[in-house]
Amino acid sequence: MKNIADLFCQRKLQKMLSQSLSYSAIATAGIVASVIVSGKVNAQTPQPVNSNEIVSYAQAVLAMEPARQQAFDEIKKLMGDREIPKIVCNDSKSISTLPKKAQDIAVNYCKHSQKIVEDNGLTIERFNKITVDLQNDNDLKRQISNTLIRIQNPAKNP
Note the pLDDT tens digit of each residue in 126-156. Answer: 998 998 899 999 999 999 999 999 998 877 6
Note the pLDDT tens digit of each residue in 99-111. Answer: 999 999 999 999 9
Report yes or no on 38 lying in a domain: no
Residue 40 predicted with pLDDT over 90: no
Report yes or no on 28 lying in a domain: no
Confidence band, pLDDT 50/70/90 cuts, at residue 124 = very high
**Helices and strands of the chain, counted as H and E runs:** 6, 0
Report yes or no on 9 lying in a domain: no
Report yes or no on 30 lying in a domain: no
Higher pLDDT: 75 or 158? It is 75
Give the chain's domain count.
Answer: 1
Q: pLDDT at position 26, please? A: 52
Dihedral sign for Cα atoms in the order 116, 118, 120, 122:
positive
pTM over 0.85: no
Q: pLDDT at position 92, please? A: 81
Report yes or no on 138 lying in a domain: yes
Question: Do residues 127 and 117 touch, judged by C-beta distance below 8 A?
Answer: yes
Q: pLDDT at position 57, please? A: 96
Report yes or no on 72 lying in a domain: yes
Residue range(s) defining the domain that contains residue 113:
53-153
Q: pLDDT at position 156, please? A: 65
Rounded Cα distance between 47 and 150, Å, is 25
Q: pLDDT at position 15, please? A: 53
Report yes or no on 119 lying in a domain: yes
Higher pLDDT: 6 or 115? It is 115
Q: pLDDT at position 35, please? A: 47
Nearest in space to 118 (alpha carbons), one of 26, 22, 36? 36
Report yes or no on 95 lying in a domain: yes
Q: Which helix (H) or strand (E) holds 126?
A: helix 124-136
